[in-house]
Amino acid sequence: MADRIEVLKTYKTYVGGKFPRSESDRTYQIKDGKGKHIANACRCSRKDVRDAVVTARSAFGGWSSRSAYNRGQVLYRIAEMLEGRKDQFLRELQLAGIKEKDAKHEVHTAIDRVIYFAGWTDKISQVFGTVNPVASAHFNFSSPDATGVVGIIAPEEYPLLSAISMIAPVIAGGNSCILLASETNPLPVVSFGEVLHASDVPAGVVNILTGYRSETAETISSHKDVNALFSSISDNKFRKLIDENASINVKRTEHYTPDDWYSDDHENPYLVLKFMETKTTWHPVGF
């Protein structure tokens, strides 16, 4: 069977609970560490971004109004499903040339991270909500509220771990998101879409696009229906583009470029809080 031509998988995107190809019909080659062609991925266009934003927007209302407790259950379910399909992710990471030991470490940390944020969903508003002293006859309290649609721009390194570390806090807070996956190795991230699909995450809460940032970042950062950006690209020119475009409608922007994605520092509730707005209510007090 030496002459057999291997069938290379073309990974699709994950938008609105479905797995569409790019509307542009374009794909690009994914290579392993040694430059060998291992699979194809969709090369998304600005129209794919536009469609994903529409989907994320329509999913936002339902997701943010679920009870925090229920969101926690759904996140926990993601971790369960990841655990069950661990082998697939190990294989995919190794296919890209990552050593087995490192791949295991990456997958395990990713699963634990989802569990961590699952626990925070129904505690955020207790811990960070406040009752404020005011000088009038009002009961005044503040609580964190979901921001809306968040554009996540994932880095090249540790494709699975970094993507999950960015998605988990965003959806834990009740936002919906569009993730621009790693350019060089988006495969495990797209497979993560299959996990999301099989768990109870409502369609459109997480949308995963692949392709070149040079074609998609401009659109997602300037789109006025995107409320926040979460970017892990350290390149200065890229940061400038993001910041300038974010200013069009004053998006909440977070540049997050850690040295070590394995560090426990990522497991912190302030990351959830970055994508929440403070809502303050004045309630008249009767006598």
Partner 1 sequence: MSVLTIPDFNQTTPIDQIGVEERVSRLNKRSIKKESKLQALKLALSMIDHTTLEGKDSEGKVIQLCSKARLPYAPMPNLPHVAAVCVYPNMVATAKKALQGTGVKVASVATAFPSGMAQLHIKLDDTRYAVSEGADEIDMVISRGEFLKGNYTFIFDEIAAIKEACGEAHLKVILETGELETLENVRKASDIAMHAGADFIKTSTGKISPAATQPVTLVMLEAIRDFYRDTGSMVGMKPAGGIRKAKEALQYLVLVKETLGSAWLTPEWFRFGASSLTNDLLMQIVKQETGVYQSINYFSND
Instruction: Quickly list H helices, 21-99.
Output: 46-64, 68-84, 86-95
The three state secondary structure string of 74-85 is: HHHHHHHHHHHC
Sign, CA torsion 184/18/169/147: positive
Q: Which helix (H) or strand (E) holds 190?
A: helix 187-198
Nearer to partner 1, 16 or 155 (CB): 16
Name the residue nearer to partner 1 (CB basis): 191 or 207: 207
- We find the least distance from the C-beta atom of residue 275 to partner 1, in angstroms, to be 17
Which of 186/204 has CB closer to partner 1? 204
Query: Could you tell me the smallest distance in angstroms from the CB atom of residue 64 to partner 1?
Result: 15
CA 100 to chain centroid: 25
Q: Could you tell me if 251 and 227 are in contact, meaning their C-beta atoms sit under 8 angstroms apart?
A: yes
Give whichever of 65 and 136 is closer to partner 1, judged by the CB atom.
Answer: 65
Cβ atoms 63, 176 nearer than 8 A: yes
Least Cβ distance, residue 62 to partner 1 (angstroms)? 17
- Of the two residues 130 and 249, which places its CB atom closer to partner 1 in the complex? 249
- Closer to partner 1 by CB, 127 or 248: give it: 248
d(CA 134, CA 281): 12
Distance between CA atoms of residues 271 and 117, nearest Å = 10
29 or 249: CB nearest partner 1: 249
What is the token pair recorded at 44?
Answer: 């998304």
Longest CA–CA separation in the chain, Å: 88
H or E element: which one contains 177?
strand 176-180
- Which residues on adjacent β-strands are paired with residue 44? none
Strand, coil or helix: what is 41? strand
Which among 117, 195, 213 is positioned nearest to 229, based on CA atoms?
213
Residues that bind partner 1 (CB under 8 A): 50, 53, 219, 222-225, 248-249
**Least distance CB 240 / partner 1 (angstroms):** 17
Shortest Å, Cβ 261 to partner 1: 31
